[in-house]
Structure 1
Amino acid sequence: MESARPRLLLVEDDRALTALLADLLTEEGYAVDVAGDGHRGLHLALTRDYQVLVVDRGLPALDGLELVARLRGRGMTCPVLLLTARGAVQDRVAGLDAGAEDYLVKPFEVTELLARLRALRRRHPESAGWLPVGHRRLDVANRRVCDGGAEIPLSAREFAVLHALAGRPT
């Protein structure tokens, strides 16, 4: 029932790095979509569902900071990791203030990138497509509740209420 591969959007203009990261992330179990510039990244992020975005800051057509700011302006809450060569404190602050949840400076260790992606997904369980509801799980993407292997039928209104409550546990 559960989607086996979390979807990740990689927005990076360096083709060699993109190929390396796409292969690595695919091996780690992600379904990876790639965009080579900010406009394509914006289009994909707004038209598809992703559990996490990895965005380069220095992109052609639309800078990574502007991309993240536009996504946040349109209500997108998917976690974003900015991956960039700009490592000065003011650059990191600008990236986080633009709406990114994390910021990793190039060159980086692959193990750290993977750990940061796992941490983002833990901190944002709703982005995984499933939310825990007691011992049950709410499948956000397919609008259903599962108890073990059994699906519990809900009306659209019941699902909306449960989703709102599950996203804000006390």
Structure 2
Amino acid sequence: MTLKRILIVDDEADIRTVAQASLEIMGDWEVITAASGHEGIAKAETEKPDLILLDVMMPDIDGPTAFLQLRANPQTQNIPVVLLTAKVQAADQRRFADLGVTAVFAKPFDPVTLSDDLMAILDRG
């Protein structure tokens, strides 16, 4: 299996830590992290990850806004994006799907299955 690069963008350090440990241990991912939407967009341009795990609620710019900026940039427009959110109401799910995100994962996620769930998304793509 080739090493996959993922960018985790979340303003909560504990979420970044748990996701990073889970992906490195369970799935042999190369993990890059960012603590804000702006930092995530910049790292996506320079690091070229295979997938971005993007928090919806962040203080500087929210996940949907960051997603639209990623899509508007030719360097990042084709990177699959999975939104991470504590709000999983049907209306939110529809709104995110209408934006064109690859998938939406609920917080708290299961660290044991996170790697397999993300690999399944990449395999589909």
Q: Same fold (TM over 0.5)?
A: yes
TM-superposition CA deviations, 1:100-126 (whole Å, max 9, x none): 1100111232344323201111022xx
- Following superposition of structure 1 onto structure 2, how do residues 21-170 of structure 1 map, counting pairs within 5 Å? 21-27=19-25, 28-75=27-74, 76-124=77-125
Which portions of structure 1, spanning 4 or more consecutive aligned residues, are displaced by more than 3 angstroms?
Answer: none
Instruction: Please say which structure displays the higher CA radius of gyration.
Output: 1
Instruction: Give the 3-state SS of the residue equivalent to 1:66 in structure 2.
Output: helix
TM (norm. structure 1) is 0.66
For the residue of structure 2 that corresponds to 1:108, the secondary structure is: coil
Q: Which runs of 5+ in 1 are unaligned?
A: 125-170
Instruction: State the shift of 1:59 in Å.
Output: 1.3
| Residue in structure 2 matched with residue 137 of structure 1 by the alignment | none
Gapped runs of 5+ residues in structure 2? none
Total equivalences in the alignment: 122
Q: Deviations over 1:57-108 (max 9, x none)?
A: 0012111001111111224111111111011111112222223110011123
Please provide the CA RMSD for this pair.
Answer: 1.6
Alpha-carbon distance in 2 for matches of 1:80, 1:62? 16
2:24 aligned counterpart, secondary structure = helix
What is the alpha-carbon distance in structure 2 between the residues aligned to residue 47 and residue 66 of structure 1? Answer: 19
More RCO (CA 8 Å, sep 6+): 2
Name the SS of the counterpart of 2:97 in structure 1: helix
Provide the rounded CA distance (Å) in 2 between the counterparts of 1:7 and 1:107: 22
**C-alpha separation in 1, matches of 2:80 and 2:56:** 15
| 1:8 to 2:6 alignment | yes
TM-score, length basis structure 2? 0.88
Separation in structure 2 between the aligned mates of residue 24 and residue 111 of structure 1, nearest angstrom: 7
C-alpha displacement at 1:42, in angstroms? 0.7
| Sequence identity percentage | 28
Please say if residues 22 and 115 of structure 2, whose CA atoms lie closer than 8 Å, have aligned partners that are also in contact.
no
Tell me, yes or no, if the aligned pair for 1:69 and 1:99 is still in contact at 8 Å: no
Q: Give the whole-Å Cα distance in 1 for the aligned partners of 2:117 and 2:96.
A: 16
